[in-house]
A and B are shown apart, each in its own frame.
Chain A
Amino acid sequence: MTIARELFVRILAGAAVLWAAASLAFVVLQMLPSDPVQVIYGADSTVTQEMRDRIRAEYGLDRPIWEQYGQFVGRILQGDLGTSYQQRRSVVSIIGSELGSTVTLAVLATIFALTLATIASVTTAGKQSRARSLMSAFELLAISTPAFWIGLLLLTFLSFQWPIFPVMGDDSWRSLVLPVTTLGLAIFGTLSQVMRAEMDIALEQPFALTARTRGLSEWSVRWRHALRHALIPGLTISAEMFGALLAGAIITERVFGRPGLGRITLQAVTNQDIPVVVGVVLFVATVFVITNIAVDLLYRLIDPRLRGAAA
């Protein structure tokens, strides 16, 4: 199979996944016992019947269910995700305006976590040492501490106790340090453990021995050869990482009062703002599908053994 053809198949499969996700979301929402009109007006108790009817018509809620499904799918195909019940804005513009903030946070947190995990695995792989036990303990601590708690601890000491990083206002990079650290620590532990385990294996491989006999220093072996092997499983769990990032972003954005997709998702779920929930689900599914395809292609770049191999 050529790369182009494989890509085409993968994209088709991805489209099917998205359609399934959208339909599933639609079905689940039909099963909810709630009346969207009540959601739109919240607990505002003076909703007259004519207002109800007008809202139902405005949102197409008075049409038969198949027609609603048809319109729903049709609109999605045109890139229209509907209008938020709560904010009265189009879902596309809500996601658009919140996306940048979350991407900034997630990318910086990933860089932070990857850097930390790389250093941790390269320096402590392949031998039992005090440093390794310490690092393992730290990883376990990072994995098992809720992001919520990490965020509050960081704020308590580095903002409230010693005013190093502000929680109010928007001081560009200084406002980013604590949220990025919080989210980065949330994914660092898993990443570091996987990379170190993989490096342990790589350092036992014949190629490592060969490299050493060629007179390469231990550091070169680790940085230039073993690290490549450690990056592959890092990629493999990147999908899982993506999920962890999104979940972490919800918490981090809430604690630090930052704009972003996480905050929007939480708000939408709490308020049953259905169009926004569906919009976020579809958006995340899309990113997920694209990530998976990209990762498969990246494997070939990182691992020469896969190049040209029949899939």
Chain B
Amino acid sequence: MRRTIFSTLSLALSASVFAFGGPAFAQSEAQSGGVLRIATYEPLCLDQNEGSSRNTQTALQDVYDRLVYKTQEGEYFPWLASEWSISEDGLTYTFTIRDGVVFHDGTTLDAEAVRINLQRWVDDRSANGVPVTSVTADGNVVTITLSEPHGPLLHDLSEPVQGIVAPSSIEAFSKEERCAGGPDITIGSGPFKVVGRTQGQDLILERFEDYNWPSAAAQHTGPAYLERIEMRFLTEDSVRVGAVESGQADIAAGIPAISVAAIEGNSNLQLIRTEQPGIPWSMWVNQSKPALADQSVREAIRIGVDYSSLVNAVFLGTSSPAYSAITPGIPAAYDAGQEGRWSFDAEAAKALLDKAGWSEIGADGIRVKDGERLSLKAVTATNWNNQQRELFAQGIQAGLQAIGIEYSREVLDFATVDARMKANEYDLVDTSQSSGDGATLLFGAFQSTSLWPANTNWGFVDDAALDDALNTAVASADPTVQNEQVKIAQKIINDGAYLIPIANPQVILAASTKVKGTVFSSSGQIGTFYDVWLEQ
């Protein structure tokens, strides 16, 4: 007996108007034409399979189509797969590939082309740990067989990194050539095709005129509205802001908190913002260290610093205080019931530390137990850090000092952080993680066997009830069950103070008021420029 997830195109289209959180507008209103200029970050490698960075995915998500589309609300819509089904035991996924789809070079996108892409994912990336045993194509149907159920598979397939690349390009070009990319090399079936590429400078996309296979969540059919998209890569925050303020760019990505007020006060500009889906900026607490194995100490760290005031002071309204291991950016999996579970109370924190045996205070104001000072070393990687977090850490240091805990934070390059983690030379790790799939995130960060370097359980968390919830979530192909278990997991994580959530980051873009129809996808990025149009 198979459970079939089936929705006809027309049904989905009419439903999408309600399902979509984006600005709904009447079809007739949208104008076609124009060039959209974007100031953003550069992708390192234009081959999806090699360059999995968020920058690569954001730059290329309109060049490649995926099998299914996932909205920020967590709903799935048909795209290249007109329908799909998952077997009762969760081991067999079948996708029916729609007819009439062609790549930018005119070659046909059929089930075989999809199979080649999925096989490449299995061969080159070991399917990112998804237990795939085989991928087969038969007629217009692609079948993925798993050795054990893996609920997040559908989500994984909706991610931009799973965009379908033309097999003609995979065959004709080396890994190196595809990474550099460019016209006639970077070939997908998406609404925009690559027509220009200067490394370190820009990526130019042009409308694909034959396009007529948008996802069922899209607002219109036929080719995209925009004629061209010009992405200019500017690393400096202030330069991107200047570009959009002076009207040289229509959209600027990665707006720093400091510039938000000026953009809000500018009548020619709009701020486009959304909650970043994932794990908030948090501190992973290393329980393999004797001091932190004690729950009282972890709770003291959680209430001993006034995190929520610091969030408001430092992030200037671009982040909200976090109370859970999942951000509100994954609405279906977020447990809002965790909000306000604790609040700042230095006296209670001191009492907890006293009770835990850290009652003796040394000459330097730091607590001592059995001759050991209560001193915590935090590490983070350069690419997980930013100016605000740097500043915030000074607040943490002052707050912890006041309750008798010494705190120091090192910002190191990722490779050094990796070495530190392997050697277990850290007490705290602070970072945020971004993904639209709560089950995979929490499984990676808290499941007892997900230790570094295979995954991100930096806290050495080992909790049978939590494992149970996470295993169930990852094994279930039913989003309802997944979300339910992810909510249970969030509660257990807070009960045990396994993580100290600090701030829910927001994705903030600045855009000209002429830019219409932007919608965020489940990845926390502008989901597609297919529906975006410019007021002439």
Contact = CB atoms under 8 A, between A and B. Distances in A.
Contacts of A166: 248
A42 B454 contact: no
A42 B53 contact: yes
Interface string B72-108: 0000000000000000000000000000000000000
A163 B245 CA distance: 11
Interface in B430-458: 444, 453-456
B175 A38 contact: no
Interface residues of A, number: 53
B126 interface: yes
A43 to B, nearest CB: 6
Contacts of B180: 87, 89, 93, 97
A157 to B, nearest CB: 11
Interface in A268-286: 270-272
Contact of A89 (B179, B239, B382): B179
B45 interface: yes
A259 B414 contact: no
B246 A163 contact: yes
Interface stretch (B196-204, B208-216, B486-494): B196-204
B23 interface: no
Contacts, number: 151
Interface in A248-294: 253-260, 263-264, 267, 270-272
Contact of A46 (B128, B199, B419, B420): B128
Interface in B163-181: 175-176, 179-180
Contacts of B179: 87-89
A71 to B, nearest CB: 20
Contacts of A168: 37, 39, 230, 232, 243, 248-249
Identify whether the interface residues of B are mostly helix, strand, loop, or mixed. Answer: mixed
B290 interface: no
A255 B237 CA distance: 9
A149 to B, nearest CB: 11
Contacts of B413: 34, 270-272
B125 A98 contact: no
Interface string B220-236: 00000000001011111
Contact of B45 (A47, A51, A86, A152): A86
A153 to B, nearest CB: 11
A257 B415 contact: no
Interface residues of B, number: 54
A38 B418 contact: yes
Contacts of A152: 236, 238-239
B444 A45 contact: yes
Interface in A198-223: none
Nearest to B177: A89
Given A46-B454, A253-B200, A257-B232, A35 B415 contact: yes
A159 B246 contact: yes
B454 A258 contact: no
A163 B233 contact: no
Interface in B33-52: 37, 39, 44-45, 47, 50-52
B129 interface: yes
Contacts of B444: 45-46
Contacts of A93: 176, 180
A308 interface: no
A8 interface: no
B147 to A, nearest CB: 14
A170 B199 contact: no
A255 B239 CA distance: 7
Contacts of A34: 413-416, 418-419
B263 to A, nearest CB: 13
Contact of B201 (A83, A90, A159, A170): A170
Nearest to B415: A34
Given A35-B422, A87-B179, A46 B455 contact: yes
Nearest to B241: A160
B198 A264 contact: no
Nearest to B124: A51
Contacts of B202: 169-170
A38 B248 contact: no
Contacts of A254: 235-236
B126 A38 contact: no
A257 B235 contact: yes
A155 B239 contact: yes
B517 interface: no
Given A47-B453, A87-B45, A257 B236 contact: yes
Q: Which 9 pairs from chain A and chain B are nearest by CB?
A: A34-B415, A259-B200, A33-B419, A257-B234, A46-B129, A160-B246, A160-B242, A272-B415, A168-B248
Interface of A: 32-36, 38-39, 42-51, 83, 86-90, 93, 97-98, 101, 152, 155-156, 159-161, 163, 166-170, 253-260, 263-264, 267, 270-272
15 contacts: A32-B415, A32-B416, A33-B416, A33-B419, A34-B414, A34-B415, A42-B52, A42-B414, A51-B125, A87-B45, A88-B50, A166-B248, A255-B236, A257-B234, A271-B414
